[in-house]
Structure 1
Amino acid sequence: MSTNIRTRLLGQDVSFPLDESRLAYWLVVMRLIVGWWFLHAGLDKFLAWPFDASWFVGGAAAQTTLGPVLVLFSDGILLSFTNVMVPVGQVLIGLGLIVGALTRLAAFFGAFLMVFFYFVNGETGGWSHGVITGDLLGLLIFAMIATLGAGRVLGVDAYLARTDFVKEHPRLRHFIG
């Protein structure tokens, strides 16, 4: 099935056809790839336990744009919290994307993490690889997954959207994809 998209972009009328079946397959592929990427990253941290994020939230990272936020997590209980929540978060984001459950919520938190990775990795490395990096592309992919509702395509979110509970609480639809 094909849909004709009509909109205004920068003051110009824009129209283009969109093949919905190709978009659906693309969303599933992207959701699975990014889900595996984050699940794998989180599981790797658990396998090499204990994970220590002090290299990321302290030292040179304190001099970055996000430094004032990061130094709050550089020692004590907040560092311990970070050491647990980064791998747990990555595993939950990965699982959420792979099964398509709470996809928008998972993509939001994935994008949230990617903002930190993008600025800290870029600024501490002096943007040696340029400003367009894998971290920025990951951020954009998470935004695409959240925006296009990727969890409704072969995911648990399609089932959740039809439940009476979600129908009775329409604000929950913001969390599912």
Structure 2
Amino acid sequence: MSIQQPTRQASWFGKSIDFDYATSVAGYTTVLIRLVTGYWFFHAGYTKILAAEPFNAAGWLANGTTASPIHGFFVWAAGTPWLLEFTNFMIPVGETLIGLGLIVGALVRLAAFFGGLLMVFFYLGKADWAHGYVNADLFGLLMFVFVGVFAAGRIFGLDAVIEKYDAVRQRPVLRYLLG
């Protein structure tokens, strides 16, 4: 008696490819990546909120690496009072909410999108490429892409429950925020 592995089919550059995977391992791995990424961002956010000194991005924005392709944008943002205040508020609060969303598995694709957006700014802002273009910020971006693409909130997350509500079933476009 042989046990047949689950098989999926994907399209890669217009060519259909069959591949096998272990369903239980894939699910647990997806949840683990979602939880670790969520804790990472939640911790980064709430420690900024609870810090003795309020979070201030001005120094990082204005004095960040000049090798960054968006250095001019950061200097402009640091010199624009309303944008600096918005950034000082949204980075800690955004990191906390993104992390919380991933931990509980609610609005995971939306959280992954905004987490990925922040990681793009962190990656380009640091431009710490002395040892190549692959660094921790790029890996963080890839974790958000993974969590969003594989709809990680549907596995042991609140998104699986939220998607059962009539409001979501009647508006399938909302499923793009969940997962």
CA contact (8 A) 2:109 2:147 kept: yes
Which amino acid letter does the alignment assign opposite residue 97 of structure 2? Answer: L
Over 3 Å counting, the alpha-carbon distance change for 1:108 and 1:11 in structure 2 is: closer
CA contact (8 A) 2:46 2:96 kept: yes
Equivalent residue for 2:151? 149
How many matched pairs?
174
More helix by share: 1
Unaligned 5+ segments in structure 2 are none
CA contact (8 A) 1:37 1:94 kept: yes
Moved over 6 A (4+): none
Matches within 5 A, 1:1-177: 2-10=5-13, 13-48=16-51, 49-61=53-65, 64-75=68-79, 76-122=81-127, 125=128, 127-177=129-179
CA contact (8 A) 2:64 2:126 kept: no
Question: Which has the larger displacement, 4-13 or 79-88?
Answer: 4-13
Q: How far off its partner does 1:63 sit?
A: 5.7
Over 3 Å counting, the alpha-carbon distance change for 1:35 and 1:60 in structure 2 is: closer
TM-score norm. by structure 2 comes to 0.89
TM-score norm. by structure 1 comes to 0.90
Over 3 Å counting, the alpha-carbon distance change for 1:164 and 1:10 in structure 2 is: closer
Q: How far off its partner does 1:62 sit?
A: 6.2
Which amino acid letter does the alignment assign opposite residue 92 of structure 1? Answer: L
Which amino acid letter does the alignment assign opposite residue 86 of structure 1? Answer: I
Unaligned 5+ segments in structure 1 are none
SS in 1 for 2:42: helix
C-alpha root-mean-square deviation of aligned residues, in Å? Answer: 1.8
Q: Percent identity?
A: 43
